[in-house]
Amino acid sequence: MSDIIIKTPEQIALMRESGRLLAKVFAYLDPLVIPGITTMEINDLVERYIVDDLASRPASKGQYDYPYVLNSSVNEVVCHGFPDPKRVLKSGDIVNIDITLEKNGYIADSSKMYMLGEVSPLAKRLVDKTYEAMWQGIKMVKPGIRLGDIGNAIANFAHSNGYSVVREYCGHGIGEQMHEEPQVLHYGKRNTGVQLKEGMTFTIEPMINQGAAKIKTKPDGWTVVTRDKKLSAQWEHTIAVTADGYEVLTLRAEENTISTK
């Protein structure tokens, strides 16, 4: 617990502003992610918008020597998909766009699934249920509960819908650094793990597979795919623990779910 940075109200206000700006990035992107665009074009559009329009920094670029401003994970790609000028999105694809933004020294991290054109009912169900799984975890957040309660809620929901949960990647504390303590697993036992306190900030970002949970990393050293080549989906928000619940710092305008509890 000593490694976890408890944020002051002033620090959370700065993170809230970063989250607000990041939500604007997705609003800007929404009409642009259509069949025919390449994942590299998405990357370049987002970089220009963050830097030129929002006077902010794309925090992923250069982190761990990563060369781009976002991850674009299409279909069977679980996470960390490289933008590619040859990867043309087509009708029926599902793609996760994962973006970080730093403003005034504080970082927000969020990702969203896009469904392009005519998506199969099975693909749409996976995307929708993964979104619900994320919210099952978010709605657990309040002072006094433990991280295992969050993971347990997410995994139980995913498993009850016939899906598997990727275990190799997790949510994380966030603030001045993109990755801080604690690690936020998307599976776990109730009443185990770190106890939440007001002022903690972290991401919840479950990766849910249509088939088995097994994954592998491609030769580029970054792109993670399902071993069985079935679809994977992910959603992500940055969360602050409040006095009596939570605040979603990266909530997007189209989301009707209440942002605080």
Query: DSSP assignment of 9-56, as one string?
Result: HHHHHHHHHHHHHHHHHHHHHTTT--TT-BHHHHHHHHHHIIIIIT--
Residue 163: which of 81, 66, 228, 221 has the closest Cα? 228
Residue 259 pLDDT level (bands cut at 50, 70, 90)? very low
Q: Check pLDDT > 70 for residue 2.
A: no
Q: Name the average pLDDT for the chain.
A: 96
Annotated binding residue at 80?
A: yes
Annotated binding residue at 109?
A: yes
Q: What is the mean pLDDT of residues 188-212?
A: 97
What pLDDT was estimated at residue 260? 45
Higher pLDDT, 5 or 62: 5
Q: Check pLDDT > 50 for residue 135.
A: yes
What pLDDT was estimated at residue 42? 98
Residue 65 pLDDT level (bands cut at 50, 70, 90)? confident
Annotated binding residue at 236?
A: yes
Q: Check pLDDT > 50 for residue 261.
A: no
Q: Check pLDDT > 80 for residue 257.
A: no
pLDDT in tens, 161-183: 999 999 999 999 999 999 999 99
What pLDDT was estimated at residue 64? 87
Distance from C-alpha of 96 to C-alpha of 111, rounded to nearest angstrom = 7
Q: What is the mean pLDDT of residues 36-48?
A: 98
Q: Check pLDDT > 80 for residue 258.
A: no
Annotated binding residue at 98?
A: yes
- DSSP state letters, 56-96: -B-TTTTGGG--SSEEEEETTEEE-PPP-TT-B--TT-EEE
